[in-house]
Structure formats: C-alpha cells, structure tokens
Structure 1
C-alpha cells in the first residue's frame, strides 16, 4: 500500500523576474521559495503522483516573466505564490482517474513538488513496461523528440534537397533535429550552430556535416564558409533568436523558411532578443513560422512510434552522452531544483536534454 502524504515540499514563485533569475534561496528577491504545502483530497479524474523526474526546459523561464500578458501565452503563466510548473514523470500513489492505478508511471504536467495532484487533462500518457530507460520518455520519446519530429516533418516539411541550419544544435531539441534531418530525411546538407569546440564536435558526431561555433568572433564568416557555394540555406530552424537569428536572416535563400521554436537568447534579458534584420524577411520574401509542440498533441502516439523505430534502426543516438541527468534523490538535495534548472542558462550545460531525478 503506497503511503499518501499530507503535505508536499513545494517551490513557489517568490518574485517574478524582469531580467536574470535569482536562484539563491531565502533572500527577499529570491525568484523561488521552498514551502510545505498541504495536499487536499483527490477529486474525480485526478491522480496523486510522486515525482520521479523533472524536465528542465528554457520555456519555463517565459512562464515566470514579470508583466506577462496571459492572453498572449499558450499556457497560463506562473504567478507569485503559485507552484512552479514543469513536465515530468511521476508514479501514481493514489488515483480517482479511471484506467490509472497505484504504481503506474505517467508522463504529465507537474510542479516543482515531491508530490503533485495531476488532473486528467494534464496526463500525457502512461509509460509502458519496457526495457527502455525511463528518461527516454522525457527526451527522445518525449516533448524534445516530438518538437524536432513535428517541427521538421510537418511545420518545415523538410526535403532531401534542402540545406538546413539548426541553432542550439547540441541541445535537447537541436540534437534531435540534426539526426532526423540527416539520418531520417537525408537532407543534402545539415549545419549546426553551438557554443564551443567540444559541443560542436558532439554535433558533428551525431550527423551534422559541420557545426559552427557562435562564440567565435568570426561566426558570420565561418557560417558563410560552411554554406559553401550555395551561399544560403533553405531552412533555418531556430531555438535561440537574437544575434544568431539576426545573422541567419541574411543567409536564408529568397523564399526560404525560418522555423521558430524558441528564443532562449532573450529569456533572461529581453534586450538580447532584439532583431535588426527584419527587412530581410520582406526583401527576400521569407516565411517565418512559429509553433508549439502542444499543437500536435493528438498525433503524439504516431510520433513516438516513428522515433522508437528510428532508434532501433540506429538512426537516432541514445546513450549517456545524449542527455544530462542531475540526481537530487539524496536527502536534502531537493533544495537544489532551481539551481539545477538554472544550468540551462549557463555554459555548464552538457549536450542534449537536462533532467532532474528526485
């Protein structure tokens, strides 16, 4: 019989940030605060889960920005005093949701809590009994893999004849884009953008023809060299925005596409998201498409099946080098959840997905 707790350790938003977050705890202007929150009784179509893994995603930064217009958000923002939201994996410890039993592991919307009440609408799927590592269902078989899958196949409608440039190419979504573009679709040329020689080597090891270091002072010159005689790319898949987007707007061919799934450059400082090359969109008749993975929720099952098949065929690399796991399952480590999430916005982040184990 699973123990049903009376309260949950919970991180709530203490002060909505304007620029950089303050990850220190116990200060007046700390972004987050750790509290104990009573757990109410379950209602119909709800489950109580023990958090196993948390997904760390740049988009969470946008949810806590001070002064947000909720009407322009695709999910409700996190307000001061509310529990910080995430997605993750949890084990059911109590259920009033038909079809979900104690012991089941589910992928769902969670909070930064050791125990969370999850409504039916926030349950993505039940994790099947499988020999695959559970973490894969937050990574290549989760939102990360599906963002790359739908972004390339349906939003960009990428073709073999295309040259594609992918920013944040060593990151969770970018690294999947590289592999799908090169090894599944078979694009003519796949160029990654990442920060530092080590990350660029990783991007090339998973299939990119070349990876260009945005930290190099000669970034623009090096990108033009990578594009070669063609001079321009057909598609730019962007999760960064800002200076990198500004550079690439000049290097997308006339009538080409920019696919936007993120803008991490400006999440902690909106001034770094400014783009001065908007005129390129007009003069070169570029198509700019933004998308959110939730747009394709009714197609997740097919996407997971296809990605699993590509893994079996060896087209998608899955090993300990393709994600970063921070283990906070030891006594007292729960306090490090915000600090771990903050790695996303630092040079400490390794390749692939950043996950937290509780």
Structure 2
C-alpha cells in the first residue's frame, strides 16, 4: 500500500475555479492506494497535460448525458492525462522504469489498468518526451483532424485561427500553411509578442484581439469579396466567433473546437451570438467535433508530424510552456490556461 497526495474535486465550479478560498473547488488530501492487481500498474506522474476541456468536466452545468467523457464527481481526484513513470508493474506489457501515457489525475501516485496505458519511449535526437503531449499529442491531433477532416482545407483557402498561440492553434497555423499550403492564414492571439511568434510559425498575419482596433484590423485583413475567410478554426467562441461570422465567404466552413471565452461562466451569463443570420445568408457550415472521433487514425497523423519535423516544416521551439511545479501547486499551474499567460502547450513538470 502506498500513501499518495491527491487533489480532489471538492465542489463543482460555476466560474473561475479556486483552490485556496473559503469554499474551494479543489482540495488537497492524502490517501492510501491499494496495491496494483494483475494487469495493473502503479505509476508516478512526471508531466501533466493541461487542457481547457478539463474545465467542462467540473462544471455545475455538466450533463453526463451530453459530455463525451464522464464528468469528474465531487470527492474524486481531478482527472488529467500525463506522462508517468512505472513504479510497480503487474503486467507483462510494461516494466518498472518505463514511461507511459496514462490517465493519472492530479495524484502523486496512481493505480491504472495496463491496457489503458500507451508506451512513451525515448524519441531520440535530443527531443524531449514532452513532445508526446505537445507536437505529437492530443492537441496536435485536434488541429490536424479539425482542419483536414472537419473543415477539409485546401491550398485555395483563406483560413482564420483563433487561439493561434495556444497548443492547438499553433499547430493549426503550421498545418494550414506548411503542410497544406493554404493561400492565406490569419491568426488571432492575445498579445503582440504572441502574434509575432504565430507569424514566425507561418501565419501571414496575426492580430491581437486585446487591441482596441482589433475588429477594424480584422475587417481590413478580410476585405470583401475576395478576402473573406473560407475556413475558421474556432477555439474560443464568444465575441470573436460572432465577428468572424461576418467575414466568412459564401459556403464557408467553421470547425468548432472550443469555446474558452465562456468556460468560466454559467450559461445565463455567457456571450451569445448576434450575427447568426450570417449562417443562413452565407450558407455557412458549422461542425463541432471531438478529437476522439478520429482516434483510430492518430498513428497516421503522428507519421505526418514526424515527416514535417524531419523536413523542417514543424517548429517546436517555443511550442511548449513547461512550468516546474510542486505537487501542492498543481491547480495554480492549471489555472494559467485561463489568464492567457501560456504560449503553446501548457505542461506541468512535477518537481
């Protein structure tokens, strides 16, 4: 039996989650874990993936009948995926000392079924294993399938990408420009420095949505009629989605990936859409998707990314925001997702 500290969900969240208030959403505790049984592993998280989707799993409005994964229930460890070291193995498929992907949660140690863990061998060439969470990870898969399968982008398209400096958006920029060769790629990010990085990744232009002239600048970059956007990869929803809809070309396609603008508010206070008629008059197609819909094809996408990397078409420098974190500060690092401070993939590196 192993003692393990865990961050539990104490209360479901209605707005920005807390871990140190009088009535926190997360609570640090210690528990005794059972010994692993046959075909189970005892693992220790090394790196944790931080994803906006986790916010939806702890919402007071989360309807288990409509979520694509079960919500985290109060009293359970906060769920997360990460790279973990195998401390003890009762499985022939993994050995002590191996590094694996696992649904480990915010737990110092975790017992997991071996069948639910994937090997994460050394990538070689001096590359960090953290690339399994960033350039080769779930967010990269989201970018790839959202653009190629949902939006069906072509080299003739003008593509707009919100959250372009984030983990998914930064991969979208490179896929659209360097892999598909789209005619024009317009990024949207939250600071001038992030915009410069997005342009370095390949965007023709990147606009700072916090600028007072953002709406005007965006209209100038999407002039009628030939400069209208054919594709919008939407990571944020809210007012930016509302604006982009007014600059979409006829028969434009919108891949609805996320809505982080409204994640930390209840539905009655969420920003709504004023320009919905654009969907009708411009015959727009809006398609929501979850990357798990394409999981059987992930190996194919991984091969594409490795080829891009070998050909110098995939920029990984600056694409990870690694934060060295004490176990007791895990929620603090996760909350960086919602203040716009991270560039690229936000990864918790446990001390």
Q: TM-score, normalised by structure 1?
A: 0.93
Q: 1:172 aligns with which of 167, 174, 178?
A: 167
8 Å CA contact retained: 2:79, 2:104: yes
- Residue aligning to 1:344: 337
Structure 1 residue 45 displacement after superposition? 3.0
- Residue aligning to 1:39: 33
**Aligned mates of 1:201, 1:277 — CA distance in 2:** 30
- Residue aligning to 2:346: 354
**Aligned mates of 1:70, 1:139 — CA distance in 2:** 28
Q: 1:254 aligns with which of 232, 250, 254?
A: 250
- Residue aligning to 2:120: 127
Verify: 1:276 aligned to 2:274, yes or no. Answer: yes
Distance verdict in 2 for CA 1:99–1:31, change over 3 Å: same
- Residue aligning to 2:303: 305
1:161-193 CA distance string (max 9 Å, x none):
011000000000000000110011000000000
**Aligned mates of 1:29, 1:121 — CA distance in 2:** 37
8 Å CA contact retained: 2:160, 2:231: yes
3-state DSSP class of the match of 1:34? strand
CA-atom RMSD in angstroms: 1.4
- Residue aligning to 2:10: 14
8 Å CA contact retained: 2:85, 2:97: yes
3-state DSSP class of the match of 1:309? helix
Verify: 1:212 aligned to 2:210, yes or no. Answer: no
Matches within 5 A, 1:1-358: 6-24=2-20, 27-120=21-114, 122-123=116-117, 125-131=118-124, 132-228=127-223, 230-270=226-266, 271-319=269-317, 321-328=318-325, 333-347=326-340, 349-358=341-350
Structure 1 residue 23 displacement after superposition? 3.1
Q: TM-score, normalised by structure 2?
A: 0.95
Unaligned stretches of 5+ residues in structure 2: none
Structure 1 residue 43 displacement after superposition? 3.1
**Aligned mates of 1:14, 1:183 — CA distance in 2:** 45
8 Å CA contact retained: 1:163, 1:190: yes
Structure 1 residue 49 displacement after superposition? 0.8
Unaligned stretches of 5+ residues in structure 1: none
Q: Indicate the larger mover: 36-45 or 214-223.
A: 36-45
Structure 1 residue 121 displacement after superposition? 5.3
